[in-house]
Amino acid sequence: MAAGSENTAAYYIQHHLQNLTFGHHPENGWSLAHSAEEAREMGFWAIHLDTMGWSIAMGLLFIWLFRKAGRMATTGVPGPLQNVVEIVIEFIELTVRGAFHGRNPVIAPLALTLFVWIFLMNLLKLVPVDYAPQLFSRLGIEYMKLVPTTDPNATLGMAIGVFALIIYYSLKVKGVGGFAKELSLTPFNHWSLIPFNLVMEIIGLLVKPLSLGLRLFGNMFAGEVIFILIALLPFWVMWTLNVPWAIFHILVITLQAFIFTVLSVVYLSQAHEHH
């Protein structure tokens, strides 16, 4: 979509980066936001319906695909879906074996869920940027962001979930006393440096969910912005740049899902270790 003026381009970019937001507005009550300003005025408890909807849809797609592959599994010649599922499971299994040094039957299924779910959400980025907004505008829906991982609410939500597991297993494996001792006597094992250790370790602990969530969000959001900027160019230039960028982004989509998964497994492995 080519822009005829700077204002048109600015509106086009803002429109494509705006989530479909539902919340309580001070003047309009419970309603959908019709602008970025209204979305901000709805405050913290406003819900991004597009992020929620597409992330749940990709989760259900993941469950359906793997359930279908499981029901169709055969010891004979496997079909394409079974081949792909088996490759993904073996890949995640090898990854977990290399990164996780404890014993926990939850870690491998968690890693598989994270990797496939994030990959499917990222994969929505390959849908041309104008398709979803134009389709839903015809249905009377003003905004529609298709890729949940371009929303920090989604990426930080997953990261906080992983962080909760880190705290849970740290307390379960090490005990309250062992976990407190690790925070207070690492890296310097001396009582006089406990305040310094606590500050450093607590900061390091809190950085884990931030690094997980913001890394995924930053990479996917930057890619989305580039797709939008390419869509503003003339038609012949747009397709010349869009196809190579989309092909390159297939690698980015997979890599970001892999990085989030591996770091989650590494952090959970650290939660199972005794110092």
Catalytic residue positions? 211, 215, 219
Closest CA to 211 of 260, 269, 274, 138: 260
Q: What tokens does 65 get?
A: 């695909």
Q: Which residue has the tokens 């529609």?
A: 144
Edge-first strand listing for the sheet containing 21-25: 29-32, 21-25, 47-48
DSSP 180-212: HHHHHSSSS-SGGGHHHHHHHHHHHHHHHHHHH
- In this structure, are residues 126 and 184 in contact, taking their beta carbons and an 8 Å threshold? no
Closest CA to 197 of 207, 210, 183: 183
* Number of C-beta neighbours around residue 70 at 10 A: 10
> To 5 degrees, how large is the angle CA 40–CA 41–CA 46?
70
* Number of C-beta neighbours around residue 17 at 10 A: 16
> To 5 degrees, how large is the angle CA 152–CA 57–CA 229?
50
Distance from C-alpha of 126 to C-alpha of 124, rounded to nearest angstrom: 5
259-268 residues labelled b (16+ CB within 10 A) or e (exposed): ebbbbbbebb
Distance from C-alpha of 83 to C-alpha of 79, rounded to nearest angstrom: 6
Distance from C-alpha of 208 to C-alpha of 272, rounded to nearest angstrom: 16
